Amino acid sequence: MYNCFSNNNIINNISIEDRGLQYGDGLFETIAIRKGKLRLWEYHLSRLKKGCKILSLKIPSDDFLKKSIINTYHDSELNHSPAIAKIIITAGKGKRGYGRKKNTISSELFSIFPATQVDPINYKNGVELTLCKTRLAVNSITAGLKTLNRLEQVLAKIELEGTHFFEGLTMDPENNIICGTMSNIFFIKENKIYTPCLKKCGVRGVMRRHLLFCLNKLDFLVRIQPIKAGDMQYFDEAFIVNSQFGLLPVKKCDDIKWSTFKRTRKIMSLMASNNIIECSI
């Protein structure tokens, strides 16, 4: 991490009384900075606003958030370089105990990290996935959001330590595939695209949203529906997306292999023409 600011002041520590630390009472967004601009900013902002409404937090103005993260970027050593901007919004300092008032004034932290480097060969040859043992809890009011409660993703990611897998797929208790630890998953069958339903758990990624918007420009029928782990073998192709690496073809998930990326390549070209430069292969 290069710079971290809170309300325009450099942070050296966080109060032990901060509710984000005590209870995970807050939200975050990780935004790709490319050519000095916040990519898909409006989508990130939209999800952040929705999260603040659900968590009953007063969100700062759009202008304040954007200026704060841009200023943090310009003041960092990564200025003019590809980077990751992170915004954390917490319920701030509070008394001991779960309870707090509604519409709490939030605390904000802004930080800048180097952009994640993905081997270019992965965009050509695809990546390998595995099904994680860690399951996601369902029926949460926070489903789809980026809350500070990420323990399920942390535990799932730990399962990948020491393996060659690029990403792990998580499921709910009924063996429905939900999403990756850091990505959303899509499958292709002929001219139809399938992606898991995220009404009960998982994260609705901004790249997923951008992709669904862009797919309206192609002759693909998109279906958002439950997908069982055993259903993966019936699809022709698979790929994953996230806000940082864009879109990556999947060549294998455990024992299931996909030998073609023909339609995935077409979608990658579409994304490259819609400002996702990583898809330009």
Domain ranges of the chain: 3-114, 121-279
CATH class label, 121-279:
alpha beta
Question: For residue 112, with 0-12 CB atoms within 10 Å meaning exposed, 13-18 middle and 19 or more buried, which class applies?
Answer: buried
Low-confidence ranges of the chain (pLDDT < 50): 7-10
Structure tokens at 233: 């073998």
Q: What is the pTM of this model?
A: 0.92
| pLDDT attached to residue 8 | 40
| pLDDT attached to residue 9 | 42
Pairing of strands 104-105, 57-58: parallel
| pLDDT attached to residue 222 | 94
Residue 253 carries which side chain, given as an amino acid letter? C
CATH class label, 3-114:
alpha beta
| pLDDT attached to residue 2 | 55
Beta bridge partners of 6: 9
Rg, the chain, Cα only: 19
Neighbours of 149 (CB within 10 A): 17
Angstrom distance (rounded) from CA 195 to CA 75: 39
| pLDDT attached to residue 114 | 94
Nearest CA to 115 out of 7, 38, 6 is that of 38
| Per-residue pLDDT tens over the stretch 82-121 | 999 999 999 988 888 888 888 888 899 999 999 988 999 9
The answer to whether 195 and 224 are in contact (CB under 8 A) is: yes
How remote is the C-alpha of 99 from its chain's centroid?
Answer: 29
| pLDDT attached to residue 14 | 77
| pLDDT attached to residue 88 | 95
DSSP H stretches of helix in 13-168: 19-23, 41-55, 62-74, 121-125, 151-158
How remote is the C-alpha of 17 from its chain's centroid?
Answer: 28
Angstrom distance (rounded) from CA 250 to CA 261: 8
| pLDDT attached to residue 1 | 53
| pLDDT attached to residue 16 | 87
| pLDDT attached to residue 12 | 52
